[in-house]
Structure 1
Amino acid sequence: MSADKSERNYETIILEHRDDADWLTLNRPAALNAMNRAMIDELSDYFTALYRNHSVRVVVLKAAGRAFCAGLDLSDIDGVEGSVQQAYQLQTDIRDIMKAMRRCPQPIISQLHGAVCGGGFTMALASDIRIAADNCKMNAAFIKIGLTGCDMGASYFLPRLVGTSVASELILTGRFIDAERALRVNLVSDVVAKGELEKIAQIFVDEMLLTAPMGLRLSKDGLNIAIDAPSLDAAMALEDRQQILVGQTRDHLEAVTAFFEKRPPVYQDK
């Protein structure tokens, strides 16, 4: 397994590229990885740049220390107590991280442990697959500090993941949901011991890297569009076009040939 460090020098996140996958670590453990201005800017820079970076096929999002992310660092950020304009700029800067996570073509796998709160919770929701450690506790914390519970996309993501009733419970109360219940309501895909998170994430990464690059990118794209499709016909029309498009690639032919020759395919993203 090859590994190399990204050329970008980040202060609050660590980026490691291994075998076509990026492993991104939130790295403010002393602050429970709460988001300060530097982290907001760096996460925005990273996820926005992914849109045209096909050398990265999968992203694993994880965190150092004893928590995934405690939300916004209210003690270390400008705009929280500033003018309406400053507060709105801060709001949209964080919001745009979630939008960039959904817009980028790479599947995002989140390894969740400890506190997953506020903006950290919505980063988890904006991921494609969530794996939780057994000590994980998540909440939409916004309503606990005198704001609405609908923030950073929570009102969009949660009902689609867990249904309106559970989403309403979490958003209207700010109460925590633990890992076991999160698994029962389909908020996460698996619950494991914290030491097993990376092993399980690696299994997902390995399986995704066995797929054709364009097929994987368009699969995320198709899911993003189909979740809001107005009808079955609309969703299937998109699927038809995607299948015919990918079916014309050399990678599709390589996959079929490899299947009959009983060998792993060698993709070139062509």
Structure 2
Amino acid sequence: MTNSTSPLIVEERGAALHVTLNRPERLNAMDPVLVTELRDLFTRLYWRHDLRAVVLTGAGRGFCAGLDIVDADRAAGNDVGEVLIAQRRISEIVIAMRRCPQPIVALVNGPASGGGFALALAADIRVATPALKMNAAFIRLGLSACDIGVSYFLPRMVGSSVAADYMLTGRFFDADAALRHGLVSRIVEQEDLAATGDEILESLLHATPLGLRLTKEALNFAIDAPGLEAAVAMEDRNQALTAQGPDFAEGIAAFREKRKPKFAG
């Protein structure tokens, strides 16, 4: 487990990794240290097949207020090359989040603005509290609203018209709007958030390790698939792969015997 004074608390609990953004005094805004730790963590997860799911949340009363303007790399200097490198250091976080094989459950416990909005969108499952506030804050700071993958994720989740409405204005999704537009799968009270995350984890870990990884991978590809046949080809390949080995047989046996399966992985 990472030291509790670290800007990123990381705890392995069996096959699940619990990750907490830990700068509550700044609403977990991302400074250069937190940016680096997040990017490195999700990059390393690509090879951690022993870890099967990730829970991501924020300490204190917020999820993530975005990039910490006080410490922002991109605010230092005017050299285009340096700014582009600094920008890529941040954007690589969401690329690594989508590439890592573990489903990511974001427990959005309050504001998620700018880069925090991007982190939430890059997760696979989002659960929020009634205190949720999400927006593409970049456009309100003199930048484009298209940043850190938001212009990719948001239209695919809510449609181009709704995405344009929120991105061009920078206005906030509250909890009701986020649920109505499908940005989150459920809203729960703050005191129930951790238990809801555990419940989702239990359901995720009921799947075989390979089935879980290949389902996330196929969902990623299906979003951009050129058509039904391409998506079905990926599905066929994944079913053929998961049908091999002992886990499929164990799953069938456990179903018939009405017990929890014991997958070898």
Is 1:267 paired with 2:263? yes
**More displaced stretch, 145-154 vs 255-264:** 255-264
**Residue deviations 1:201-255 (CA, integer Å, cap 9, x gap):** 1111000111100000000000000010001000001100110011012111111
Q: Distance in 2 between matches of 1:206 and 1:23?
A: 14
Residue in structure 2 matched with residue 126 of structure 1 by the alignment: 122
Looking at structure 2, the residues matched to 161 and 249 of structure 1 have their Cα atoms a distance apart, in angstroms, of 35
Kindly state the Cα deviation for residue 10 of structure 1 after the two structures are TM-superposed.
Answer: 8.2
For residue 231 of structure 1, the aligned residue among 227, 238, 253 is 227
* Partners of 1:90 and 1:31 in 2: CA distance: 21
Once the two structures are superposed, residues 170-214 of structure 1 have per-residue CA deviations (whole angstroms, 9 ceiling, x without a partner) of 110100110111001111000111111111111110001111000
Distance 2:7 2:206 in 1: 31
Which amino acid letter does the alignment assign opposite residue 15 of structure 2? D
| Correspondence for 1:78 | 73
Structure 1 residues not aligned, in runs of 5+: none
The alpha-carbon deviation at position 67 of structure 1 amounts to: 1.1
Deviation at 1:262?
2.2
SS at match of 1:266: coil
Return the match for 2:46 from 43, 48, 51.
51
Match of 1:254 in 2: 250
User: Does residue 144 of structure 1 match 2:171?
Assistant: no
1:65 corresponds in structure 2 to 60
Aligned length: 264
Q: What residue number does 1:98 align with?
A: 94
Q: Can you list the C-alpha shifts for 1:101-122, whole angstroms capped at 9, x where unaligned?
A: 0000100000112211000000
2:30 to 30, 35, 58: 35
Identity of aligned residues (%): 50
Give the counterpart letter for 2:210 in structure 1. M
Paired letter, 2:247: D
Residue 73 of structure 2: SS of its match in structure 1? coil
Extract structure 1 runs of 4+ deviating beyond 3 A: none
2:239 is the counterpart of 1:243: yes
- Matching residue of 2:184: 188
Q: 1:149, 1:171 within 8 Å by CA — same for their partners in 2? A: yes
CA contact (8 A) 1:10 1:42 kept: no
Q: Can you list the C-alpha shifts for 1:84-134, whole angstroms capped at 9, x where unaligned?
A: 222111110110000000000100000112211000000000000000100
1:9 shift after superposition = 9.3
1:118 is matched by which residue type in structure 2? G
TM-score, with structure 1 as normaliser: 0.95
| Distance in 2 between residues matched to 1:204 and 1:65, nearest whole Å | 22
Which one-letter code corresponds to 2:113 in the other structure?
Answer: C
CA distance in 1, matches of 2:131, 2:227: 40
RMSD of aligned Cα (Å): 1.3
